[in-house]
A and B are shown apart, each in its own frame.
Chain A
Amino acid sequence: MKQFLLKFWGHCVRLTARWPSIGSIAPFIPVIAAWWIVTELQIFPRVFLPGPMEVVRSFGSLVYTGILPAYLQDSIVRLAVGTFWGIALGIPLGILLGLSQRARTALWPLLLFFQAIGDIAWLPILVIWFGYGLTTITVVIVYTVIFPVVLNTVLGVRSTPITLHRAAQSLGASRIRILWEVVLPGALPNIVTGLRNGLSYGWRALIATEIIVGTSGIGFLMFDARRSGSVVEILLGMIILGILWYIVDSWILAPIERATGQRWGLVTR
């Protein structure tokens, strides 16, 4: 065991030297070590707090049986579908509200009213309307994602300097072209921020919804594990949530941010 760990450590050091991005894993090492020590010292009964190795083993068996990949896929597809609609509805609505004072006057109170009714608060009535299915889950996620996207898009549209609109107009741009050439790119850094917030809320809403109405997915996995008293699987579910979010942020959101707002000098590096 000791020899294995030493070898593993040596391997990690070489790997990190070759790919510096692995360095972002380093902060987790003391956390895992502390967890491991606490469980080894048997401060809490094993049933209440299993060690890291047991979680890894449970991960292996759940992957082997195919349950985890299937659940993971379900959760990600639900989030993707919900996010897609959240963006597809949220950005145009945000642009409309950002550009039109009249639309703002008419819709702003409604927006705030419905924002106050939290996502989960819709579940009881959604279950009655749509049953325990994808529709219910999608509606909840769209509902969660859309508010941060809309509010940040409005902010982005309104904070684009008027001189940019004027420059485009006096260079001969039509209103439609201005929408595409000025309004949308001008709002993009804020839209990404809204998306980042929206996705993180959406992710939490998804898990909560799966716990209540789900028949599969990571949230369901955790809730099901609670029923059978498997703390290992609950911990595994929590860890997967963290890792997945990290991946979504650093592989999708951060690169978009680097390629747009940062590149254009609108957001400081």
Chain B
Amino acid sequence: MKDLTIRNLSKTYFDPYAGTNVTAVHDVSLKVEQGEFVCIVGPSGCGKTTILNMIAGFIPHTGGEILVGGRPVKGPGADRGVVFQSFALFPWRTVLENVAFGPKMRGVRKVEREKIAHEYLALVKLTEAAGRYPAELSGGMQQRVGVVRALANEPDVLLMDEPFASVDAQTRMTLQEELTRIWQEKRPTVIFITHDVAEAVFLGNRVIALSKGRVLEEISVDLPRPRSWDALNDDARFKELSGRVLQLVRSA
């Protein structure tokens, strides 16, 4: 695990329909320490997914720099694991093969990489599902696989792009609790993108409110861990923090 530094990051592209240049991300700077959990929250179209795609190297940035452990990002790489909103599991691979995919690409031997995959599947209680295909699993189970597939490759930074946006509300709460538990156990460096203010406050050490491609404010979340919804639902501090972030995001 390593730290992540973003300096004056910006993204401008030409919009052929409007006929003008559009700036989706405007001079964003951010420092994520090793083992930190940072949430970026903002409404649709605020540029949060664009930021994540640039960190992942899926799209090029047009200004500033992104450094992972001091090294500049040039295209996608195994040092940055990604969890997608649409899960993006390989439909033609079993759950076990999906989780073992990263180690396989690194050239880890079959016995070894399957052992790794089994360990990570046990972490999300999916040992039973190892031999099944993704299409045979529920959305919540698929995203558990998505999370451990990224983790099993031991990336320096874990990038999560609204990973729980397409599962139902109850499953989402369970997944959020599981994620905090896994994070405490493995302590990966995480950047978590979401539009859900409560989710951001629940998960993060720090919440970054974003609007129209600019950072509005950074808020430290000093809630104790382990966190659970049962404890935090009526917690005064949680409510205060969520209220503040919500106000920021809505007022912009």
- Taking the closest CB of chain A, its distance from the CB of B251, in whole angstroms, is 33
Q: Which of A167, A170, A172, A264 contacts B92 (CB 8 A)?
A: A264
CB contacts under 8 Å to B, within A238-267, are 260, 263-266
Interface size on B, residues (CB 8 A): 30
Which of A13-21, A147-155, A158-166 is found at the contact surface with chain B? A158-166
Which of B20-28, B82-90, B181-189, B190-198 is found at the contact surface with chain A? B82-90
Cα A265 to Cα B136 with chains together (Å):
8
- Taking the closest CB of chain B, its distance from the CB of A190, in whole angstroms, is 13
Q: Does B76 contact A (CB under 8 A)?
A: yes
Q: Does B42 contact A (CB under 8 A)?
A: no
Interface size on A, residues (CB 8 A): 23
Q: Determine if A166 and B58 form an interchain contact, defined as CB atoms under 8 angstroms apart.
A: yes
Q: Determine if B101 and A171 form an interchain contact, defined as CB atoms under 8 angstroms apart.
A: yes
Contact A265/B134 with A166-B76, A166-B82, A170-B80 known, Cβ cut-off 8 Å: yes
Q: Determine if A167 and B91 form an interchain contact, defined as CB atoms under 8 angstroms apart.
A: no
Kindly supply a per-residue 1/0 record for chain A positions 156-182, scoring 1 wherever the CB is within 8 Å of any chain B CB and 0 otherwise: 000001011011111111100100011
Q: Does A185 contact B (CB under 8 A)?
A: yes
Contact A171/B81 with A181-B90, A260-B92, A264-B135 known, Cβ cut-off 8 Å: yes
Q: Does B77 contact A (CB under 8 A)?
A: yes
Q: Which residues of B contact A181 (CB under 8 A)?
A: 90, 101
- Taking the closest CB of chain A, its distance from the CB of B161, in whole angstroms, is 9
- Taking the closest CB of chain B, its distance from the CB of A35, in whole angstroms, is 45
Q: Determine if B90 and A182 form an interchain contact, defined as CB atoms under 8 angstroms apart.
A: yes
Cα A171 to Cα B97 with chains together (Å):
13
Q: Does B133 contact A (CB under 8 A)?
A: yes
- Taking the closest CB of chain B, its distance from the CB of A24, in whole angstroms, is 27
Q: Determine if A177 and B105 form an interchain contact, defined as CB atoms under 8 angstroms apart.
A: yes
Q: Which residues of B contact A169 (CB under 8 A)?
A: 57-58, 75-77
Q: Does B30 contact A (CB under 8 A)?
A: no
Q: Which residues of A contact B92 (CB under 8 A)?
A: 185-186, 188, 260, 264
Kindly supply a per-residue 1/0 record for chain B positions 88-126, scoring 1 wherever the CB is within 8 Å of any chain A CB and 0 otherwise: 111110000000011001100000000000000000000
Question: Which residue of the partner chain B has the closest CB to A166?
Answer: B58
Cα A171 to Cα B150 with chains together (Å):
7
- Taking the closest CB of chain B, its distance from the CB of A171, in whole angstroms, is 4
Contact A166/B56 with A171-B101, A171-B102 known, Cβ cut-off 8 Å: yes
Q: Which of A163, A174, A177, A188 contacts B84 (CB 8 A)?
A: A163
- Taking the closest CB of chain A, its distance from the CB of B206, in whole angstroms, is 23
Q: Which residues of B contact A185 (CB under 8 A)?
A: 90-92
Contact A163/B78 with A172-B106, A264-B133 known, Cβ cut-off 8 Å: no
Q: Which residues of A contact B56 (CB under 8 A)?
A: 166, 170
Question: Which residue of the partner chain A has the closest CB to B134?
Answer: A265
Q: Determine if B91 and A170 form an interchain contact, defined as CB atoms under 8 angstroms apart.
A: no
Q: Does B48 contact A (CB under 8 A)?
A: no
Contact A166/B84 with A172-B105, A172-B153, A264-B92 known, Cβ cut-off 8 Å: yes
- Taking the closest CB of chain B, its distance from the CB of A149, in whole angstroms, is 20
Q: Determine if A167 and B90 form an interchain contact, defined as CB atoms under 8 angstroms apart.
A: yes
Q: Determine if B90 and A170 form an interchain contact, defined as CB atoms under 8 angstroms apart.
A: no
Instruction: Point out which of A172, A174, A264 has the most chain B C-beta atoms below 10 A from its C-beta.
Output: A172
Q: Determine if A172 and B90 form an interchain contact, defined as CB atoms under 8 angstroms apart.
A: no
Show 11 A/B contacts (Cβ-Cβ < 8 Å), sorted by A. A166-B56, A166-B58, A167-B88, A169-B57, A169-B75, A170-B78, A170-B155, A172-B78, A172-B105, A188-B92, A265-B133
Knowing that A163-B88, A166-B76, A171-B150 touch, tell me 18 more A-B residue pairs with CB under 8 angstroms: A161-B88, A164-B88, A164-B90, A167-B89, A168-B90, A170-B57, A170-B81, A170-B155, A171-B153, A172-B77, A172-B78, A173-B101, A173-B105, A177-B105, A185-B91, A264-B134, A265-B133, A266-B135
Binding site for A on B (CB under 8 A): 56-58, 75-78, 80-82, 84, 86, 88-92, 101-102, 105-106, 133-136, 149-150, 153, 155, 159
